Amino acid sequence: MGFTEILRRIVDEEKDALCIAIVGTDGIVVEERLVDSQIDLASVGAEYSSILKDISKVSDSLRFGDVKEVVVFTDKAIVMLKGINKEYFILFAIKPDGNIGKGRFLLRREMPKLEKELQ
């Protein structure tokens, strides 16, 4: 199963999905699936990869260890960021009233396959 199929599965099972992407830690979107076409995924990927880098630095300096996941709740979206490996993370945005537990579960469930694909 390739990237495209994995992303499709996640989006299909989360009715409140807005977009999902595999993003490099350099901010480049490797693969994406857009439900809300108003989202500029290139910008979102770039901005959040920079945020994730900053949070990792802070976590390191506070001796909290590696950052495994970040969830940002905004007016327009809930954005989940979850590291796949040192080079890639997954970005999954759902509607602000979406089911965050379901979203996190889907990412966790598909993670082994993503790790394998991105080895």
Residue 65: alpha-carbon gap to chain centroid: 20
DSSP 99: -
CB of 41 to a copy of itself, least distance (A): 10
Q: Pattern of binders to a copy of itself over 49-78, x per CB under 8 A?
A: -xx--xx--xx-xxxxxxxxxxxxxxxxx-
Tokens of 64: 């909290």
User: Hunting for tokens 């940002």 — which residue is that?
Assistant: 72
> How many Cβ atoms from other residues are within 10 Å of residue 101's Cβ?
8
Q: Does 40 bind a copy of itself (CB under 8 A)?
A: yes
CB of 26 to a copy of itself, least distance (A): 17
- What are the residues binding a copy of itself (CB under 8 A)? 40, 43-44, 47-48, 50-51, 54-55, 58-59, 61-77, 79, 101
